[in-house]
Structure 1
Amino acid sequence: MSTPAGHEVATGSFERADQGLRRTMGLNSILFLSIGAIIGSGWLLGALDSASVAGPAAILSWVIGGILILFISLSYAELSGMLPRSGAIARYPQLTHGAYTGWMIGWTYWLSAISVPAIEAEAVVTYVGGTYPGSHLERVAHGVTVLTGAGIAFAVGLMVFFFLLNVFGIRLLGEWNRWFTWWKLVLPVATFCFLFVAFRGKSFHAYGGFFATGPANLFVAMSTTGVIFSYLGFRQALEYGGESRNPRRDVPLSTILSVGITTVIYALLEVGFVGALHWHAAGIHAGAWGALTASKWAGTPLYSALQAAGIGALLTFSNFLLVDAGLSPSGTGWIYMGTAARTNYALGVAGYGPRSLQRHNRWGIPWISLIVAVVLGCLFFIPAPSWYELVSFITSTTVLTYIMGGLGIPIFRRHAPDLPRPFRLPAARFFAPLGYLAATLLVFWSTYKTLTNVYAAVFFGLPLFGWYYAAKRGWIRPVPAAVLGLVFWGGWGYLQYRGGWVLRVHVPARGAWGFGTYDIALSAAVLFYCLGLWLLCNHEGRRHVTSTWWFVFLLLALFPVEHYTSAVGAHASEPLAFGWGTAIAAGIGLVTYYWGVASGFMTDQLRDIVASQHAAEAVGAAQR
């Protein structure tokens, strides 16, 4: 195989990257990792958060959200069985679309993975602060419960605790998480059973009816509250694939089972919470759904619902929720700290970061990646010291990366048809684009306020690709790469300052640009960098940039449609209805899906994997 100078790939090198990881986890451990990650802070705070946006219709948000995540997970079930890898979601895009797409998706996924331990720590502190108001760990700001300085310090201490637990090895994580997960399964089931004892049911039909805040908001609640965020834990089976004893069977099975089991649990919890809602005890007017996140119940919703019932047995049981407020989010934060480390590890394997990110300690843990995860994760406490504020950012950045599951299936089948597939997605021509559309629409439903922050963070990482990856491989000279990146960052900083849309409670800020000006400037800046990178790169680099245009178009096209069809806030009466906006977004999704499939090519890394597979088959045949 002939490859351009500067990026030769030795046969099997990509395959050898996971050999330092220990394959000690069985089906139960992998399944319980996924369930344990799904049942974290979302089950404690998500019922109230989703009800604040969708009212009683939040029940449908959990059911439909679970179904959409199942569509997404089906695509990954085939890919994870075919190529089980640690940090899988951050590594697949590079195999199908090359380095630039791989970087953009990997950077986006990194943003979400690195921030999840922080939000789980925030959940613990929120529950403690809500239970003991005298601790002064939280306060209400702009209608949302946020952490104080003392609360942030407490959360940082929890992050260090998560780090220490991860250092001691994957076997400890798998074994201890099994017991944590049993607790996390039993307690939510017992909770919704007890909530039905306190069930009143009036909130389902009074105060505006079942769709009290409008039908569109049941979709918005999926992306902006704890709904989809709670389901994101299904990816743990993918992330720990390189450490499974039988990954080709266990990873797909665990992925599907974890989503199905938890969908039932979450839907019943929402039914129980809405049925047990006591408006006076929460300190707000009956029917004021939007005020729930600033109410007396915001810190401890399920505990408060049981307490308000005034039934002795419920009062006794509610104390277990306080214990779980420490255990469930901490267990999930523990798991996701490992996920963040493995995402750093995956970026190192893909060449997007230094090789030191792949170094293991004596227990097989990528310890440098773990240190990076805890330090950078703590930084998220500064702009978003609130579970309710950070949850939509994490959801959107994560789901945005999930578009690659359905997109990858036809590309892998085209270029690597002989790789073993223990699970082969049936009717892939239907389910693969359906999984892609599910992810696209979940991003679209996240509201314009969330997307402004997501886009600012995602596009900020573009120059790092040119400076580090492209220049290192000789695709672009270092000086032009540096100049292009600095010009982009300068323009990007001015754009965010004058735009007044990013990191704002109310957008835009007074005196800032209107959305039209901001959107045009944002699109121009991104296209300027991508086109400049294409012009400055050599032929090989241009190929990788070209294969990413579909993704750039998807992001830029969704943004104005989202703004002008928004279902919430000041833009609820924009000229295009939410339903029309969803239809347009689905159309954009279908166009970019087939464009993305056509843009995939036989990358060097995928060729490396196929060559390794053929070599292994040849050795096996010779031995027989």
Structure 2
Amino acid sequence: MATTQASGTTLAGYEEADRGLRKTMGFNSILFMSLGGIIGSGWLLGALASASVAGPAAILSWVIGGIFVIFIAVSYAELSGMLPRTGAIVRYPQLSHGAYTGWMIGWTYWLSAISVPAIEAEAVITYIGGVYPGLGWERVSDGVTLLTGTGTAVGVGFMLFFFALNLFGIRLLSEWNRWFTWWKVLVPTATFVMLFIAFRSTSFHAYGGFFARGTSNIFVAMSTTGVIFAYLGFRQALDYAGESKNPQRDVPLATILSVVIAMILYTLLEVGFIGALNWHAAGLHLGDWAGLSGSKWGGAPLYSALQAAGIGALLTFSNLLIADAAASPSGTGWIYMGTSARTNYGLGVNGYGPKALQRHNRWGIPWISLLIALVIGCVFLVPAPSWYKLVGYITSTTALTYIMGGLGVPIFRRYAPDLPRPFRLGFAKFWAPVGFIAASLLVFWSLFDTLANVYATVFLGLPLFAWYYAVKRGWLRAGPAVALGAVFLAAWVYISIEGGYVLRVTAPAKGSWSFGLYDATLSAAVIFFCAALWLLSNAEGRHSIERSLWFFFLLLAYFPLEFYTQAVSPLSSPPISFLAGSGIAVVIGLVAYYWGVASGYMTDELQAIVDANAAGGGSPVDRGSAVLGH
């Protein structure tokens, strides 16, 4: 069959791209890949970071955050069982909404995935540097930690190690990771047991009580302090689905089970940390929750809590914790290095990058995609801000891509009802929009400063789309595409510099634009680009652009709402309460969801999969599983 794809390839180029990947991963390997991706730097630094924002109620942040991630994951569980594909999260949007939406989601996911290995490497340096000051990082006046020259070199060394471990095949990676993940589970388990030895209940009821930092900060902490970031590894099962022996059964189960295990572990660690808090040892006044992140405990919080207890057994165990501070983030780093490579691979399959991104080495690894993941990842080390500052950015960009899971369920059921679904989501008309709203609220609950930077980088993908994909696909000629992209990029640079809302951690300095001017100008630039691209494109391009408008509506509607909502706004007295703002965000999200469902259509790629399934009882990749799985 020669169904034409958006990338200009045939079905063999799109559907059979996964044939070169080796299907060697069983259920344990898939589960441990997700669990290994989840347990990284989040548990080492997130307990203190979340407590600094939400106080003792950070315990609820971990519980609610885990539940939100499960809401998101159950939709992906159906999709991954139905269409197990490597690089799945960047491939589903193109199947359901076409190339323009697929590009925006793929670009956003790429921004989040490509930076994680570097941040995990930085977490190692930060934690060990918290015990051995001067070893790789330094604290500047506003409390932000930056890598020194030595720290950057060490970080690059970790990145090269992650690269080498991925290069020599999925069997090596999965076997290494399976045994290593046992360590990553056992050490945090032992840590909360040790913390309970030093447990005191005072911090739970004194110094303002359980809700000392207010109830709204429970939700803000989820997006800004590493809570959701710590759960994001659940997607590893989806990204490695094309290399699973039995993806229809194993991927959905591993996805959900990994989140449940992590939720139990993280919640107990938070309880133990708050119970073991020693305010004097941290150099803080009693009840100074907000001061925790900038305190002496900021570099190595769990180690510091065990040391402050002064109990012999805890002092001995704390040294093991330092070893794990190198091990756990490293374990997540090498998994995300592989995830970044498979994201590049998925973008290549979609036609958003050159076909070279799909090229495999003798071990079945997309090595060019892996090399790009290494090089771009290292850019984040030269120099990178602290883990505490970047974690919100990664959380928001990733959550923004997760809105597609809830949309995919009804759309694929409408247009591909006969594709096999080993896991079928019950009450999907309820759970699919719930998953969409959960993901969109995680974006909304980011601090405004974070959201401004997320939007700036997401919209930077627009001119790249015009210059590469739109021309390659033949939507418009090269000359108009180059001119349109250049005009938008110039506007983007001018708005970013003059507006004063990008690359800042505080409100704009005096003399910068008002938010109203900044928002209106940025929105106008985005709308102008989409409208001009539509006018210049052929019928195929126009159709794809029209089916993406719900996505831009969601982004542009959330931006002013967040600026004027308490707890997430940079204003000292924003006019909208947190509860009211969140309620409006839900309404906006529901409008975007049902608009997005209505915008889904039978794309060429999805039609090819449906036709292949009808002709042979499964897609070419699925029918080849028995051969590839030896």
Task: Tell me which residue corresponds to 1:229.
Answer: 229
Task: Tell me which residue corresponds to 1:363.
Answer: 363
Change (3 A) 1:417 1:377: same
Between 502-511 and 123-132, the greater mean CA deviation after superposition:
502-511
| Structure 1 unmatched runs, 5+ | none
User: Residue 144 of structure 1: CA displacement?
Assistant: 3.0
Q: Does 1:91 pair with 2:77?
A: no
Task: Tell me which residue corresponds to 1:527.
Answer: 527
Q: Does 1:384 pair with 2:384?
A: yes
> 1: distance between equivalents of 2:159 and 2:508?
33
What is the correspondence of 1:148-547 to structure 2 with a 5 Å cutoff?
A: 148-382=148-382, 384-547=384-547
User: Residue 254 of structure 1: CA displacement?
Assistant: 0.2
Task: Tell me which residue corresponds to 2:625.
Answer: none
Q: Does 1:548 pair with 2:548?
A: yes
> 2: distance between equivalents of 1:573 and 1:294?
25
User: Residue 374 of structure 1: CA displacement?
Assistant: 1.0
Change (3 A) 1:619 1:45: closer
**CA deviation string 1:210-263 (max 9, x = no partner):** 111111011000000110000000000000000000000000000010001110
User: Residue 9 of structure 1: CA displacement?
Assistant: 5.2
Letter in 2 for 1:518: Y
User: Residue 589 of structure 1: CA displacement?
Assistant: 0.3
> 1: distance between equivalents of 2:504 and 2:548?
30
Change (3 A) 1:618 1:368: closer
Task: Tell me which residue corresponds to 2:68.
Answer: 68
User: Residue 617 of structure 1: CA displacement?
Assistant: 2.6
Contact kept? 1:402, 1:436, Cα under 8 Å = yes
TM-score of the superposition, structure 2-length normalised?
0.96
Task: Tell me which residue corresponds to 1:55.
Answer: 55
User: Residue 101 of structure 1: CA displacement?
Assistant: 0.1
> 2: distance between equivalents of 1:294 and 1:218?
20
Between 384-393 and 264-273, the greater mean CA deviation after superposition:
384-393
> 2: distance between equivalents of 1:10 and 1:523?
37
Between 377-386 and 256-265, the greater mean CA deviation after superposition:
377-386
User: Residue 509 of structure 1: CA displacement?
Assistant: 2.8
User: Residue 465 of structure 1: CA displacement?
Assistant: 1.0
**CA deviation string 1:342-394 (max 9, x = no partner):** 00000000000001111111111111101110111122234632111110010
Contact kept? 2:612, 2:619, Cα under 8 Å = no
Task: Tell me which residue corresponds to 2:558.
Answer: 558
Task: Tell me which residue corresponds to 1:122.
Answer: 122
**CA deviation string 1:307-333 (max 9, x = no partner):** 000000111111110010010000100
Letter in 2 for 1:215: T
User: Residue 570 of structure 1: CA displacement?
Assistant: 4.4
> 2: distance between equivalents of 1:450 and 1:327?
29
**CA deviation string 1:246-281 (max 9, x = no partner):** 000000000010001110000010000011011111
Letter in 1 for 2:381: F
Count of aligned positions: 620
SS state at 2:145 partner:
strand
> 2: distance between equivalents of 1:242 and 1:619?
12
Q: Cα RMSD over matched residues?
A: 1.7
User: Residue 287 of structure 1: CA displacement?
Assistant: 1.7
Change (3 A) 1:618 1:333: closer
Letter in 2 for 1:198: A
Task: Tell me which residue corresponds to 2:14.
Answer: 14
Change (3 A) 1:93 1:427: same
Task: Tell me which residue corresponds to 1:31.
Answer: 31
User: Residue 8 of structure 1: CA displacement?
Assistant: 5.6
> 2: distance between equivalents of 1:330 and 1:227?
19
> 1: distance between equivalents of 2:444 and 2:292?
24
> 1: distance between equivalents of 2:426 and 2:165?
40
User: Residue 12 of structure 1: CA displacement?
Assistant: 4.4
Contact kept? 2:566, 2:575, Cα under 8 Å = no
Change (3 A) 1:401 1:379: same
Between 610-619 and 69-78, the greater mean CA deviation after superposition:
610-619
Between 147-156 and 577-586, the greater mean CA deviation after superposition:
147-156
Change (3 A) 1:600 1:383: farther
User: Residue 6 of structure 1: CA displacement?
Assistant: 8.5
Contact kept? 1:441, 1:586, Cα under 8 Å = yes
User: Residue 135 of structure 1: CA displacement?
Assistant: 2.7
> 2: distance between equivalents of 1:340 and 1:136?
25
Change (3 A) 1:6 1:547: closer
**CA deviation string 1:542-595 (max 9, x = no partner):** 000000000000000001101100305642521110110000000000001000
> 1: distance between equivalents of 2:445 and 2:5?
44
Contact kept? 1:562, 1:581, Cα under 8 Å = yes
SS state at 2:123 partner:
helix
Contact kept? 2:2, 2:11, Cα under 8 Å = no
User: Residue 510 of structure 1: CA displacement?
Assistant: 3.2
Letter in 1 for 2:232: L
> 1: distance between equivalents of 2:348 and 2:25?
23
Change (3 A) 1:37 1:531: same
SS state at 2:468 partner:
helix
Change (3 A) 1:4 1:613: closer
Contact kept? 1:495, 1:522, Cα under 8 Å = yes
Task: Tell me which residue corresponds to 1:594.
Answer: 594
Contact kept? 2:125, 2:136, Cα under 8 Å = no
User: Residue 415 of structure 1: CA displacement?
Assistant: 0.4
SS state at 1:278 partner:
coil
> 1: distance between equivalents of 2:6 and 2:427?
41
Contact kept? 1:31, 1:237, Cα under 8 Å = yes
Contact kept? 2:8, 2:473, Cα under 8 Å = no
> 2: distance between equivalents of 1:373 and 1:619?
29
User: Residue 516 of structure 1: CA displacement?
Assistant: 1.1
SS state at 1:146 partner:
strand
Change (3 A) 1:5 1:300: closer
Letter in 1 for 2:296: K
> 2: distance between equivalents of 1:136 and 1:175?
31
> 1: distance between equivalents of 2:215 and 2:14?
48
SS state at 2:18 partner:
coil
Contact kept? 1:203, 1:275, Cα under 8 Å = yes
Contact kept? 2:392, 2:450, Cα under 8 Å = yes
SS state at 1:571 partner:
coil
User: Residue 50 of structure 1: CA displacement?
Assistant: 0.6
> 1: distance between equivalents of 2:155 and 2:347?
27
Task: Tell me which residue corresponds to 1:101.
Answer: 101
Between 129-138 and 553-562, the greater mean CA deviation after superposition:
129-138
Contact kept? 2:565, 2:574, Cα under 8 Å = yes
Between 357-366 and 284-293, the greater mean CA deviation after superposition:
284-293
Change (3 A) 1:570 1:495: closer
Contact kept? 1:21, 1:365, Cα under 8 Å = yes
> 2: distance between equivalents of 1:179 and 1:343?
25
User: Residue 49 of structure 1: CA displacement?
Assistant: 0.7
SS state at 1:280 partner:
coil
> 2: distance between equivalents of 1:584 and 1:364?
48
Task: Tell me which residue corresponds to 1:135.
Answer: 135
User: Residue 136 of structure 1: CA displacement?
Assistant: 5.2
TM-score of the superposition, structure 1-length normalised?
0.97
SS state at 2:417 partner:
coil
Contact kept? 1:501, 1:509, Cα under 8 Å = no
- Aligned-pair identity in percent equals 70
User: Residue 146 of structure 1: CA displacement?
Assistant: 3.2
SS state at 1:64 partner:
helix
Task: Tell me which residue corresponds to 1:607.
Answer: 607
